[in-house]
Amino acid sequence: MEEFKSGFVTIIGRTNVGKSTLINLLVGEKIAAIANKVQTTRTAIRGIVNRENSQIIFTDTPGIHKPKHKLNETMIETSFSSIPDCDMILFLIEATSEDIGRGDRIILDKIKESKRKTILIINKIDLIKREKLLNLIDIYSKEYNFETVIPISAYEEKYREIILNEIEKNLKPGPAYYDIEEYTDQTLRQLAEETIREKALKLLQDEVPHGIYVEVEKMNLRQNKQKEDIYDIEATIYCLRDSHKGIIIGKNGEMLKRIGRAARIDMEQNFRIKINLKTWVKVKQDWLDNDSIVNSKFKLK
């Protein structure tokens, strides 16, 4: 019988390269917020893949970007602090890159420093021609001895097994660190906060999203009259200024209703349970530079 293997794999890359989409694909469950905006992931999110002969624990990290405030600094610190503790790295880059950009160079230097086994994943290959892809593989292969290079489109299911097989091949024998029923170490409360924030990111105007965070104040499980389990969830969306509060609530409360409705539908699908969701909006100025909020909500535990 084949020896059981396990290991911790960090997914790292610049903002908006598709890390959250990739971790959701690999885990087979939605655990990370996805929106077509930079800095969607703010904290390190763990996803667990249980296979017949292995357990792979993925860490999806915030994208590498130029820090503008305390939150950004904490996000970057979170990304790089996951490298020394991992067994392997998935380095995700965009196929549309012409060369190694500044952000990718910083990550590459950290990988070289760590000497960790690394798989280079080139995402969004549907956007370029084959010659350009081969040129990019050549540029990166001269920089580091990657275990392998896997060109993908993170939305396509067919790449899941290719990546997982390659990772498993490179893992050492080890125990299962989590119960085989688990697929994330995030609590339901954290998943609820992520889901509400993701819907806000998708629905709101550009100037608002990155100045918000979500806090679930109450989360109670009860049975309704039909004896079905139902979660009562009360959550507050915090924003930076009154003008943002008005945008989030919308005319006659319409935007807040849309955010809540989309989040509830998503949570019911993911949690496989009925949800009764109530949301409020409050202003908390300068929270982006507030140490206690940033460290408690976004720092790697």
Q: Which two tokens stand for residue 139?
A: 């540029």
Tell me the pLDDT tens digit for each residue of 222-242. Answer: 888 888 889 899 999 988 888
Instruction: Tell me how crowded residue 10 is: count the other CB atoms within 10 A of its CB.
Output: 27
Higher pLDDT, 96 or 59: 96
* Tokens describing residue 146: 């990657």
For residue 21, name the pLDDT band (cuts at 50, 70, 90).
confident
Among candidates 45, 17, 259, which has minimal Cα distance to 152? 17
- For 163, the token pair is 């990546």
Sorted by sequence, the CB contacts under 8 Å of residue 299 that are 6+ apart come out as 43, 74, 77, 78
Residue 183, pLDDT > 80, answer: no
Regarding pTM above 0.85, the answer is: no
DSSP H or E run through 285: none
More confident residue, 143 or 62: 143
Q: Is the pLDDT of residue 104 over 60?
A: yes
pLDDT in tens, 119-157: 999 999 999 999 999 999 999 999 999 999 999 988 888
Where does the pLDDT of residue 40 fall: very low under 50, low under 70, confident under 90, or very high at 90 and above?
very low
Query: Are the beta carbons of 38 and 15 closer than 8 angstroms?
Result: yes
Q: Which tokens in the block code for residue 140?
A: 């990166």
Question: Taking residues 53-66, what's their average pLDDT?
Answer: 73
